[in-house]
């Protein structure tokens, strides 16, 4: 076996932000048919151009945008402002159904619901809606599978199937928004306030489509869904060049960095991409992101019993974060099937948290909603379960 620490030469054209990943990590999906083009892949000008290509007037694209992003429908029968003879063709060409709900699981009295989606090529992905008092968060997938190979994560075990298109990402949120608007989620009709890219996949390894999705989610209605940029969180293993690029987009979305260890020795194992970009580089990119956006960075830390939860590691983490625009989210590990690891003991979690707090580092323990439906952090592994 060649040493996994030796970076693979970037075999992809310059600009592939995940190029040069260590052996075993994949940044590129296999050759597959991309999903059909959808209005949510395009900005408003692109949509008008697409309508013209269909022999339609440009404003038909604006009407379709209103149906999709404001009325949350893609059913031609609802589109009575379009000429009856053109509805099916326009909707078919610009609003193809990209995802079919294969299974829906709920818990927490219906306020947490996980959907297993099948894409047109048969790829499976999952999304989770979580309603809290005063806010609704959608956790979305950015890739089918994931190439980052983190050994404690269910998705990481399956490998990467492919990138999702921007429209496939947006479709997960539109479906949640539709269910909420229809009053299908206990608590009365509501809206989505937050979107976290913490489902399947590494969002920054699918940079262009994730950025497109962020624009569609945050553009004002009816160009987009009108969700506040501040309500969006992009979570990453730490692809340093892509963090730098995101910092330059002029967005105020939150960055979450999945750190999980303060030392390179352990992080090389828990988050294998650390062999390419070390803790110090990842954190430097995070602080530059905070400086550029004014937004506190979330540091994600899954507490794994006797692996990364020692008091000395809490102190080391506190030293790295003290004085920075950061907040630590401690997540008790959700053990995944076949994993040799489990969650930390409650006393060790409390000690870890207290040591960070004592050094002035803001810290919270993440709630683990959706555990019963395998909808909690790191449990999404659609391809496994869809087959079994
Ligand atoms: N690839 C991105 C986003 C997806 S995972 C990332 O790594 O940030 C979202 C978060 O869940 C990450 O912090 C990830 O490390 C964490 N996670 C994955 N598996 C987990 C598990 N079994 N228990 C707890 N957290 C987990």
Question: Quick check: 2 pLDDT over 90?
Answer: no
pLDDT of residue 387: 43
Output the CA 258–ligand 1 centroid distance in Å.
7
User: Quick check: 273 and 21 in contact, CB under 8 A?
Assistant: yes
Ligand 1: does its nearest atom lie under 6 Å from the Cβ of 140? no
Task: Check pLDDT > 50 for residue 12.
Answer: no
Is residue 51 a contact partner of residue 60, using CB atoms and an 8 Å limit? yes
Of 29-38, 209-218, 374-383, minimum mean pLDDT range: 374-383
Annotated catalytic residue: which of 126, 168, 202, 300?
126
Average pLDDT over residues 25-40: 78
pLDDT in tens, 270-324: 999 999 999 999 999 999 999 999 999 999 999 999 999 999 999 999 999 999 9
Ligand 1 pocket: which of 147, 153, 158 to mutate (most atoms <8 Å of CB)?
A: 153
pLDDT at 29: 55
> Is 150 in the active site?
no
Backbone dihedral angles phi then psi of residue 217, each to the nearest 5 degrees? -65, -35
> DSSP secondary-structure letter at 67?
I
155 near 146, Cβ under 8 Å?
Answer: yes
Is the pLDDT at 384 greater than 50, yes or no? no
Token output for 101: 């709900």
| Whole-angstrom distance, CA of residue 157 vs CA of residue 150 | 7
Flag whether pLDDT at 164 surpasses 70: yes
Which residue, 232, 198, 199, is CA-closest to 213? 232
What is d(CA 113, CA 111) in angstroms, rounded to the nearest whole number? 6
Percent pLDDT > 70 in the chain is 88
Task: Judge whether residue 15 has pLDDT over 70.
Answer: no
Q: Is residue 8 scored above 70 in pLDDT? A: no
pLDDT computed for residue 20 by the predictor = 55
pLDDT tens, residue by residue, 313-326: 999 999 999 999 99
Residue 329 CA: nearest ligand 1 atom is 13
Whole-number Å distance, alpha carbon 78 to ligand 1 midpoint, is: 39
Question: Has this prediction a pTM greater than 0.75?
Answer: yes
Per-residue pLDDT reduced to its tens digit, 149-162: 999 999 988 899 99
Q: Average pLDDT of 17-46?
A: 76
């Amino acid at each position: 076996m060649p040493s996994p620490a030796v970076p693979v030469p970037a075999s992809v054209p310059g600009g592939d932000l995940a190029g040069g990943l260590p052996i075993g990590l994949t940044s590129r999906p296999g050759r597959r048919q991309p999903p059909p083009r959808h209005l949510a892949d395009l900005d408003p000008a692109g949509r008008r151009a697409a309508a013209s290509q269909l022999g339609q007037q440009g404003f038909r694209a604006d009407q379709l945008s209103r149906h999709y992003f404001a009325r949350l429908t893609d059913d031609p029968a609802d589109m009575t402002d379009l000429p009856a003879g053109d509805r099916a063709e326009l909707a078919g060409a610009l609003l193809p159904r990209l995802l079919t709900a294969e299974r829906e699981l709920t818990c927490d009295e219906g306020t947490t619901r996980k959907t297993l989606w099948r894409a047109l090529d048969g790829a499976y992905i999952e999304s989770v809606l979580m309603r809290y008092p005063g806010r609704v968060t959608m956790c979305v997938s950015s890739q089918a599978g994931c190439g980052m190979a983190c050994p404690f994560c269910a998705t990481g075990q399956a490998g990467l199937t492919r990138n999702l298109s921007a429209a496939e990402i947006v479709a997960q949120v539109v479906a949640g928004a539709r269910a909420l608007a229809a009053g299908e989620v206990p608590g009365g009709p509501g809206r989505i306030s937050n979107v976290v890219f913490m489902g399947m996949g590494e969002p920054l390894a699918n940079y262009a489509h994730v950025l497109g999705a962020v624009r569609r989610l945050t553009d004002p209605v009816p160009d987009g869904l009108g969700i506040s940029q501040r309500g969006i969180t992009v979570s990453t293993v730490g692809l340093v060049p892509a963090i730098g690029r995101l910092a330059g987009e002029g967005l105020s979305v939150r960055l979450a960095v999945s750190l999980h260890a303060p030392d390179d020795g352990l992080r090389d194992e828990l988050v294998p991409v650390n062999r390419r970009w070390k803790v110090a580089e990842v954190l430097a990119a995070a602080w530059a992101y905070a400086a550029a956006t004014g937004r506190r960075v979330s540091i994600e830390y899954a507490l794994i019993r006797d692996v990364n939860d020692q008091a000395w590691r809490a102190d080391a983490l506190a030293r790295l974060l003290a004085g920075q625009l950061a907040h630590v989210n401690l997540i008790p590990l959700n053990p995944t099937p076949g994993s040799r690891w489990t969650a930390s003991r409650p006393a060790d979690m409390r000690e870890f948290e207290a040591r960070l707090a004592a050094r002035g580092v803001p810290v919270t323990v993440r709630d683990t909603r959706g555990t019963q439906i395998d909808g909690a952090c790191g449990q999404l592994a659609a391809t496994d379960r869809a087959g079994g």
